[in-house]
Chains A and B, each alone.
Chain A
Amino acid sequence: MTATAGPERLAVTEPLRVAIIGNPNTGKTTLFNAMTGLRQRVGNFAGVTVERVEGGYRMPDGRRVAVLDLPGSYSLSAGSPDEQVALEVLLGRDEAHWRPHVVLVVADASHLERNLFLASQVCELGLPVVIALNQIDAATEQGIQIDVPALIHEIGVPIVPTIASRGEGIEPLKQAILIAAALPVPERRFTLPSDTAAALAPLQEQIERDGFSPSAAAMEALRLLSVTRGEAHLARVDELPRHLESTRDALRALGIAPERVEAEARYEWISGVLARSMVRRERTLRTFSDRLDAVALHRTGGPLLFLVVMALVFQAVFSWATPLQDVIEAVIATIGGTIGGWLPAGDLRSLVVDGVFAGVGSVLVFLPQIAFLFAFIGVLEQSGYMARAAFLMDRVMRRVGLHGKSFIPMLSGYACAVPGIMATRTISDPKDRLATIMVVPLMSCSARLPVYTLLIGAFVPALPLMPGLDLQGATMLAMYLLGTVTALAVAALFRATLLRGPVRPMILELPPYRWPSVRSLGVSVWQRCQLFLRRAGTVILSLSIVLWALATYPHATVDPTLPEAQRQEAQLGYSALGRFGHAIEPVVRPLGYDWKIGVSIVASFAAREVFVSTMGTIYGVGDKEEAALVDRLRAERGADGALVYTPLIAVGLMVFYVYALMCISTIAVTVREAGGGRIGWRWAAIQFGYMLALAYGAAWLVIVVGRAMGYAA
């Protein structure tokens, strides 16, 4: 790719390609959602802003525009893998992705000084740039007045004020992007002192020789002065480290500290620009955010508030979603019953009713819970509370050798380990990041919810403990806590052994509190639900059918005079699944499980929810759905007449699911994020192995201790 030489001419039929970049907390994702609406294509696994998310829209004249949401970055000096991605895309050095025609820089109008640092770097990349002056309303409230025409004149690119959360300024912004595509590319607006420029010239030439435009090479040369680690996209520049070192020496000889040059030059220019285009009333009043922070970051009040918020989230996910779940259950039951009624009795009806509807249906019921969980995490993120949580947790995290920032991926892990692991890209220290990746799957994700809900619903009574919390809710909370505490312990272990190293100091922005945008939340939750539905329609559907077939064939010749339940039992025992189950029974026997649980566990190694759908299929409860499955489980007796499921077994089983890594997507994402190839596979194997050992050991311990305490198992 030699695209770095300049922007490509674009054909009229081709969509206009726009990349969005901006500091974290500028409302970048909200703006992206406001521009593209629901027309987004999310990769198989999407984090909030960590994964590349693509969307698009059409101009009134029919012109198509493709938009790429780049990860939030403070500068282009790639500190974290996240920022590296953004830089490579903008330079056209990312082989896997297109180079944009136009770059949209989202700048927070209340923090222009810092935001223009990134903008000034982007303006030198040799691409047309548009700046969205976002959250202009908040800036006005804080007494900041921006003279937009003056700012446009100073920076030399189109600038559009927007309020993304209310959808204001979106149309003018789209117009500006279209116009900018045809404008000449912006250039550096400041000049370095002549001695500095002379010292930089050889380095700049060297970078240019690798196909960079003069403007981009100048930007890179200036930027690299303060960058100490090697960057992949510059690996082909001939003898870069030597040239860089001699440039630094030349600057030092002039009495100039090389690492300061870029920041001083850019900020000096920015302060001049803002002096001519911005009026700021001296802020004397404490802002709303400051007052909230007085509570949220209070020494004792802060952690307390944090616990209350967490408890509220879990109780809400568990109880508020119930009415919606009942509706879905009823709809699936009706459709399954109707279709089952049309089909003649036999294998086909059994496939549809017991395989497809019982299997997929029992998982679909959890859609509302998953939507609630993602909505809550979205609210925490958008409101700005997530950063406070990271701040509060930094103390705890530091004790186990992690960074406060590691808490955000771990919290995302409550929703799904995949975006959680992707969110570790914002952690710049590789060992810190790897340790976080290794423990994120210990956080109970939404796929465990169906398993917990089924077992708690069946075996834990709803004894009220205190207002707003009953024994069922408390058990659920206990499972989440168990996973979380273990994650911290395991992280400490990794940091003391395989990933030993110093903890990086905390640098974290605490963004001002904001009301979350309902529209943007809706878009993110919808994306998540789509992914869940796609999974239900593919992985879970096909596994359900396979399991149904294994449980149905070969047909046994059963005495037709026996009662229905016994006939079913005999058939199941004779089937391929039954034989397999009996073969593996010795392995799960020490945990107190029978072969049916064993089969369900094995089947759910691809995806945990399959445990529930397998249970649904094995017990062939079809149109009666989960309520019936719960009853079947409670009444199930083994060959010796003893109950198969006791509360102790249920707890042991839940503990097993807290720890076991049973998710193909997580394994795939760990392989990729831990370094790919053999290194990635090695870490994924370590992760899978330790979690399985932990699961088996802990479930066994629960049963042994429980029996010793006199509980039935």
Chain B
Amino acid sequence: MTTPSSRELPVCTCPLVDSETGRQATVVAIACGDHDACRLRAMGVYEGATVSVIGKRHCLLVDVRGTRLALGADLAEGITVRPQERPKH
């Protein structure tokens, strides 16, 4: 329920923009305008959600639990994620 303090933040976090395509990642922080952040959370992108970038064009194509979202690159810059371990095949 509390915000992860800087101590708890894992070292390997990056903005969603730089997240590897096809790799699942956990949302750690959403630091865009309050209004957009509120919207993102309602659409399933909240702190703790699992997302994966599936394509990079002028915007990012993101998979959120089977939903496809197009997110502006400027927005994706403000979303910090922690890439997850690759699932074992």
Which A residues lie at the B interface, using CB under 8 A?
A: 74-75, 77, 79, 110-111, 113-114, 117-118, 142, 193, 196, 226-229, 254-257, 259-265, 267, 283, 289-290, 293, 297, 299, 391, 394-395, 398, 404, 428, 504-512
Cα of A428 to Cα of B38 in the assembled complex, Å:
12
B17 vs chain A, min Cβ distance (A) = 12
Verify B75–A226 contact, CB threshold 8 A: no
Give the chain A neighbours of B23 by CB distance below 8 A: none
Give the chain B neighbours of A289 by CB distance below 8 A: 68
Verify B61–A510 contact, CB threshold 8 A: yes
Which B residues lie at the A interface, using CB under 8 A?
A: 1-3, 5, 32, 34-44, 46-49, 54-55, 57-59, 61, 64-72, 74-75
Give the chain B neighbours of A511 by CB distance below 8 A: 68
Verify A510–B68 contact, CB threshold 8 A: yes
* Given A75-B42, A110-B66, A510-B61, 5 additional A-B pairs, CB 8 A: A264-B47, A290-B54, A404-B70, A505-B71, A510-B68
Pick from A142, A227, A508: contact of B69, CB below 8 A.
A508
Chain B residue at smallest Cβ distance from A283: B66
Cα of A227 to Cα of B71 in the assembled complex, Å:
20
Known contacts A263-B46, A428-B35, A505-B32; is-contact A391 B1 (Cβ 8 Å) = no
Cα of A293 to Cα of B63 in the assembled complex, Å:
13
Pick from A297, A507, A509, A512: contact of B57, CB below 8 A.
A297
Cα of A662 to Cα of B68 in the assembled complex, Å:
40
Verify B34–A506 contact, CB threshold 8 A: no
Known contacts A264-B48, A267-B48, A428-B35; is-contact A509 B43 (Cβ 8 Å) = yes
Verify B41–A263 contact, CB threshold 8 A: yes
Cα of A114 to Cα of B46 in the assembled complex, Å:
10
Verify B48–A79 contact, CB threshold 8 A: no
Verify A507–B44 contact, CB threshold 8 A: no
Verify B39–A507 contact, CB threshold 8 A: yes
Verify A509–B67 contact, CB threshold 8 A: yes
Pick from A111, A299, A398, A506: contact of B70, CB below 8 A.
A506
Chain A residue at smallest Cβ distance from B59: A506
Verify B42–A77 contact, CB threshold 8 A: yes
Cα of A508 to Cα of B54 in the assembled complex, Å:
15
Cα of A111 to Cα of B40 in the assembled complex, Å:
15
B76 vs chain A, min Cβ distance (A) = 8
Instruction: Report 16 cross-chain contacts, Cβ distance below 8 Å, ordered by A residue.
Output: A114-B43, A142-B66, A229-B35, A255-B2, A255-B5, A256-B1, A257-B3, A264-B47, A264-B48, A297-B57, A297-B61, A391-B59, A398-B58, A507-B39, A507-B69, A509-B43
Verify B69–A505 contact, CB threshold 8 A: no
Verify A74–B42 contact, CB threshold 8 A: yes
Give the chain B neighbours of A113 by CB distance below 8 A: 44, 65
Verify B47–A111 contact, CB threshold 8 A: no
Cα of A267 to Cα of B46 in the assembled complex, Å:
8
Known contacts A229-B35, A505-B75; is-contact A391 B42 (Cβ 8 Å) = no
